[in-house]
Copies of this chain bind each other. A is one copy, B any other.
């Protein structure tokens, strides 16, 4: 044991100022809370997990069809995990899986009418939660700034090499599927244009 009077944490030479660490920790905590609430909402309203919802919305945003890889890339998820979830969604009749005519080894995932209907049924509630928890305490200026910052950060991360080199070979996810995920406007193509 140790009789402590000062901080136990010893930040090294890289020491960012407290503001930086504070922003980071607060960001992570807020997002954690938001994710948790969203999860509850989706489960209650449509019996979907957050990942399943993301899969369905990604498909819908991509005009209904994507390969497994495109899907996994957009959702930031392991391939095997995606296979598992796709199995559940297929069993529930929300998507279908079929061969890709252009590449026989790929699996083409297609959202069904039922899946589309489900997404459109629970989307308003989802948006309501996001609105209530995230958007409400933000001004227009905040929103603009946040969107701007996170877009830059995300692009920066996407561009970063996987660090410490992959154990074998790494797929250069640089220019292959250009924004297929349409993450920035997953639901944005709508008539909501103001």
CB A113 to nearest CB in B, in angstroms, measures 7
Report copies per complex. Answer: 2
Cα–Cα, bound, A138→B147 (Å): 13
Q: Which residue of B lies closest to A12 (CB)?
A: B124
Q: Which chain B positions have C-beta within 8 A of A2?
A: 64, 113
Q: Which chain B positions have C-beta within 8 A of A151?
A: 22, 26
Q: Which residue of B lies closest to A142 (CB)?
A: B149
Q: Which chain B positions have C-beta within 8 A of A156?
A: 133, 136-137
Cα–Cα, bound, A13→B190 (Å): 12
Is the contact region of chain A dominated by helix, strand, or loop, or is it mixed?
helix
Q: Which chain B positions have C-beta within 8 A of A181?
A: 36-37, 40
Q: Which chain B positions have C-beta within 8 A of A12?
A: 123-124, 127
Check B185 against A36 for contact (C-beta < 8 Å). no
Total interface residues on A, using CB and 8 Å?
95
Cα–Cα, bound, A150→B133 (Å): 11
Q: Is A194 engaged at the interface, CB distance under 8 Å to the other chain?
A: yes
Check B8 against A123 for contact (C-beta < 8 Å). no
Q: Is A32 engaged at the interface, CB distance under 8 Å to the other chain?
A: yes
Q: Say which residue of B26, B63, B130 sits within 8 Å of A24 (CB atoms).
A: B130
Cα–Cα, bound, A188→B180 (Å): 30
Q: Which chain B positions have C-beta within 8 A of A165?
A: none
CB A7 to nearest CB in B, in angstroms, measures 4
Rank and list the top 10 A-B pairs by shortest CB-CB distance, nearest first: A12-B124, A23-B147, A25-B191, A18-B188, A7-B189, A30-B154, A18-B194, A22-B193, A137-B156, A32-B76
Check A134 against B160 for contact (C-beta < 8 Å). no
Check A192 against B60 for contact (C-beta < 8 Å). no
Q: Is A17 engaged at the interface, CB distance under 8 Å to the other chain?
A: yes
